[in-house]
A and B are shown apart, each in its own frame.
Chain A
């Protein structure tokens, strides 16, 4: 059973546009929701994270929107750049050290 469902699987955005990646979960015991960025041949890098008591968190061009009642959260990348082309994973943490990852979204930003 997929604990965290991520969509879309792939996304193509024009340079300067907004990239939006969505994740949904079922387990209300999840207490921490990070997003990771992964370039080919590299390990994932922590991008931004949010706790369920906050509805939005912004860091630079990256924003997480969190909807606790809908059990959904999303990553918004403003002014998308070709350098943002990577695979993005959402995740959810359960009881301290169990992390569940989404299936990943391959983002391509075209010039």
Chain B
């Protein structure tokens, strides 16, 4: 299957700092990428849909100013958690759509905000 690379795998930061997470489709071009948040033993919660070259579409309740998404190329989307606080601690996962059908996920990023 196609490969989606996500970095970093885990990050620990102090409250108030910003953290950037990268998501790359390594062997295909992805016009659409998605960002999810997952709490322990729960399903995937869609945060936003990002389309290359346009603004991301955020789900209801997700603060667009806190979770900045940039999809500047067909292989890279980034999620920046701005002014992170302990309540932002979570497992963040990206995914990329191949040929408009198959959805492939990154390996996830565990964010811990102290």
Contacts and interface: CB of A to CB of B under 8 A. Distances in A.
B100 A96 contact: yes
Interface of B: 1, 4, 6, 32, 34, 41-44, 49, 91, 93-95, 97, 100-108, 110
B39 to A, nearest CB: 11
19 contacts: A34-B103, A36-B105, A42-B107, A43-B94, A43-B106, A43-B107, A44-B44, A45-B1, A46-B103, A46-B105, A49-B102, A89-B43, A93-B103, A97-B97, A97-B100, A101-B44, A102-B43, A103-B43, A106-B41
Contact of B105 (A45, A97, A103, A104): A45
Q: Specify which of B93, B101, B103 lies most central, judged by the most chain A CB atoms within 10 Å of its CB.
A: B103
Size bracket, chain A contacts: 20 to 34
Contacts of B104: 46
A44 B38 CA distance: 11
Contact of A42 (B44, B94, B108): B108
Nearest to B92: A43
Contact of B43 (A45, A46, A97, A104): A104
A32 interface: yes
A60 interface: no
Nearest to A102: B43
Interface of A: 32, 34, 36, 41-46, 49, 87, 89, 91, 93, 96-97, 99, 101-104, 106
B12 to A, nearest CB: 15
Nearest to B44: A101
Contacts of B6: 43
Contacts of A96: 100
Contacts of A46: 1, 102-105
Contacts of B100: 96-97
Given A46-B1, A99-B103, A101-B44, 14 more contacts: A36-B105, A41-B91, A42-B107, A42-B108, A46-B102, A49-B102, A87-B41, A89-B43, A97-B49, A97-B100, A99-B34, A101-B43, A102-B43, A104-B42
